[in-house]
A and B are shown apart, each in its own frame.
Chain A
Amino acid sequence: MTTKILLALTLLAGAVQAQTVTGKAFGTYVNALGVTSQSPVATLPSSGGMATGQADAFGVAGAVDASWLNAVTTGAVDNKKSGAQSTSELEQVSAAGGAITADVVTAVATAYFGQFTGGSDGEGSGFTNLIVNGEAITTEVAPNTRVDLPGVGYAVLNEQIPTGDGLTSWGMTVNMIHVVLQDALLGLTTGEIIIGSASSSVAR
């Protein structure tokens, strides 16, 4: 009996605890040769709401070219249900000197919490007409697919990084193209390029 009362009180406390959401999305981030450059970032207020970041075009010579960059994050917090969903999209994308191109790059990251359970996912993320090292990729790219980029380094495509403890917090970061630049002789990391990034999380 006592156990049942304690369980009920615990669930009740969980239901009325303050929840928080985070959301972030951006089109491109480049860190190469000591120079950092980033397209407009959408950052969700901690209380929820909506934020956007847009640019008609964005380019860093030799690293990335893209147009129609759109980053959107939305979310809401209340005692019974909270959620955050972030999207990042770019068109006419060329990365790493043309080693990777795509008509459209779409990142979607979602995190949610109902009264007693939560979750996160990267459903909806994808590429349209992706070409890697001159080869067209005609199927869906599985999460965390690594491809070598000769003379450049390597890339992780559809990189999905879960966050949170799965009990009181849930989150997901999706980076659709994550290029790791490496020194050709020593293999040391010299920089990185991230294209199409979306992150969302909830905590109770």
Chain B
Amino acid sequence: MTMPLPSLPPATPPVTQPAPAIAMRGLAKRFADKVAVNGISLDVPAGSFYGLVGPNGAGKTTALSMVTGLLRPDAGQVWVHGADVWADPRAAKAMMGVLADGVRLFDRLTGRQLVTYAGLLRGMDRDTVAARAGDLLHVLGLEESAGKLVVDYSAGMAKKIALATALIHAPRVLVLDEPFEAVDPVSAASIRGILADYVAHGGTVVVSSHVMDLVQRMCSHVAVIAGGNLLAAGTVDAVRAGGSLEDRFVELVGGGSATGGLSWLHTS
């Protein structure tokens, strides 16, 4: 059973109680002749651990870019705890921690400098930044590499330092695009621990991922996106409807029937 999609009239600030951490209404983006996001409306309840899943090219990154203020939508609106991202970006951005996918880091800084930079950019005072940067580097296992230039980091380490830059200002909402990509299992486990703790204490997390299993275990809610459309959204239990999330996902998105067709690949 899929939860019915929220069908509030567009352009009205959400009135549901309590106010959702993120509310999207009719969010749409077109690149040249390709519709990347086709009018998505979605509420992310405060205190939820929200998974955003979809095949490659589904529009996950595009949608998240419009939520985080990196990409101006063609139509639609986004609110973060009531602040309109596109009318009052500074208020909305102050509440969000963002891990964008596929962007560079200021990698000629050392790890500690990069995290400090992110804190100071947000207008935090020096002592708080120093203390939190130390904590983050410690928890993420980057203490030894804190003095190395980020350009010399491995992909997984770079992902972790980028996560630290998203956490430093203690945001109310975390938007993480593919946070577990290239991260080793041990680090992934510690990141999951950090995020679970964050949610348990009132924070809201939105993650995009390809890994259904991870989303099913980790998230409280999930939204399935394909071809720029929202196919299903709700609690993980409601969306998977008794089956595994992976099966439900394949069923929703379609495809996946063409297994076992490559007989020439059988070497024996």
- The answer on A and B forming one complex is no
